[in-house]
Amino acid sequence: MKERFNRRICVAPMMGYTTPYARKLYRILSKETFLFTEMIASKSLINSKNKDLIIENDNHNPVALQVGGSDLYDLKQCSKIAYSYNYNEINLNVGCPSKAVQKGTFGACLMKDKVLVRECVESMQSDKIVTSIKCRIGLGKELNYDFFEEFIDEVLKSGIKIIYVHARNAILNGISPSQNRSVPPLDYNFVKKIKLKYPDVLFILNGGIDSLDKAKNLLNDYEGVMLGRLIQNNPFILKKIDNIFYNSTNTIKVNEELIFNYFNYIKPKIEKDSIFRLLSPLLQIFFGIPNSKLFKSKIHQFMKNRELKLIEDLLLKFIRENSLQLN
Ligand SMILES: Cc1cc2nc3c(=O)[nH]c(=O)nc-3n(C[C@H](O)[C@H](O)[C@H](O)COP(=O)(O)O)c2cc1C
């Protein structure tokens, strides 16, 4: 399988954020960035009657579908579904620390059972779609490189060639998922060290990369980086990615066309999904723009009555008035 894209810059899977609507916006802003869905539990993916709504891939490629699960048969099914929706990759979540996820025996707690993780990815693999995992560097409060290395040794016996590493431990008890993204310290050296052992495997670094400058510097030492909260807070920063990281000379503008394009995508879905999910990615347009309070409060008012046309008009007005700051 020869790929015509790379994973130098990836947007991290984020539940509640990297929805099909967000990916539509991301793709308008960057043609090259590698995207992810939010994590979808394998059983929900298989049994959902709304599959189209959850995992629609409207040419958002290159894009990976992330699943959570540990049932080998279910994961195999998920892999087939990902292929049928034209995903480039299926990724197993081995990093989420939430209690609900632990109860379903998936996410970070799987790092305790490296053989099971290997079996999971073996079950997901096929010659049709690339398989990968996203994991932490360990579990609990203590950092332990040997534990990480042994985990990776076992998983790589499956033959997979791509691992995304959120370079901090997961603490499974006593702290929340959001604290688990800041309390355990980052240690990028784990990723540097494992890469020396496995030069043919692509290790993508994730965790705490909070500016494009930082991403750029890290790319001197790592093959790819994955950005989470930076994009969650300000997806519009993606419009710089193709120029900075992919030598593109195209200028992406935040303009009326962008709004039309986005609304054309969400309009047919207004009866099928919540207006908040449909609009929230685009509403980050106000990030860092002074005096946008009035626009925001009007939009929230219109959202209550699901007045999509009025919201679109207001956003067009906002864009005309703030074109300089937005571009
Ligand atoms: C709101 C939110 C939801 C997340 N959901 C997922 C998820 O579904 N799957 C996953 O592997 N990681 C999830 N993460 C973790 C991110 O993918 C990423 O590993 C983490 O935020 C660290 O990267 P950052 O410091 O660049 O934000 C989530 C993070 C956030 C902020």
Residues 262 and 134 occupy one common structural domain: no
48 inside domain? yes
- Span from the CA of 115 to the centroid of ligand 1 (angstroms): 24
**Looking at 223, 246, 269, which one is the last position of a domain?**
246
**Domain tally, the chain:** 2
Residues 37 and 153 occupy one common structural domain: yes
Residue 1: pLDDT band with limits 50, 70, 90: low
Count CA atoms closer than 13 A to 274's CA, side-chain side.
7
Residues 188 and 235 occupy one common structural domain: yes
2 inside domain? no
- Nearest C-alpha to atom 19 of ligand 1 is from which residue? 166
Residues 285 and 238 occupy one common structural domain: no
Which residues' Cβ are closer than 6 Å to ligand 1?
A: 12-17, 38-39, 66, 93, 95-96, 134, 166, 181, 206-209, 227-230, 232
Query: Long-range contacts: 226-229, Cβ < 8 Å, 24+?
Result: 226/10, 226/11, 226/12, 226/164, 227/9, 227/10, 227/11, 227/12, 228/11, 228/12, 228/14, 228/181, 229/181
Residues 96 and 51 occupy one common structural domain: yes
- Span from the CA of 259 to the centroid of ligand 1 (angstroms): 27
pLDDT tens string 310-319: 999 999 999 9
Measured distance CA(121)–CA(295) in Å, rounded: 47
Residues 135 and 235 occupy one common structural domain: yes
pLDDT tens string 157-194: 999 999 999 999 999 999 999 999 999 999 999 999 99
Q: What is the rounded average pLDDT of the residues 24-33?
A: 98
Q: Range of 184's domain?
A: 9-246
- Nearest C-alpha to atom 7 of ligand 1 is from which residue? 14
198: how many CB neighbours lie within 10 A of its CB? 15
Q: What is the rounded average pLDDT of the residues 29-37?
A: 98
Q: In this predicted structure, which of 7-21, 144-158, 198-212, 288-302 has the lowest mean pLDDT? A: 288-302
**Known catalytic residue: 96?**
yes
φ, ψ of residue 134 to 5 degrees: the values are -125, 120
Q: What is the rounded average pLDDT of the residues 288-299?
A: 92
pLDDT tens string 99-154: 999 888 999 999 999 999 999 999 999 999 999 999 999 999 999 999 999 999 99
Residues 201 and 54 occupy one common structural domain: yes
pLDDT tens string 150-165: 999 999 999 999 999 9
Measured distance CA(220)–CA(230) in Å, rounded: 20
Contact at 8 Å (CB) between 37 and 65?
Answer: yes
Residues 31 and 111 occupy one common structural domain: yes
Contact at 8 Å (CB) between 133 and 110?
Answer: no
Measured distance CA(168)–CA(140) in Å, rounded: 10
Residue 170: CATH number of its domain: 3.20.20.70
Count CA atoms closer than 13 A to 22's CA, side-chain side.
28
Residues in the chain: 327
Tokens representing residue 149 in the block: 């290395």
Contact at 8 Å (CB) between 154 and 117?
Answer: yes
- The contacts of residue 308 (CB under 8 Å, 6+ apart) are 263, 266, 267, 270, 275
Q: What is the pLDDT of residue 133?
A: 98
Query: Residue 4 above 90 pLDDT?
Result: no
1 inside domain? no
Measured distance CA(278)–CA(222) in Å, rounded: 35
Rounded to two decimals, the pTM is 0.97
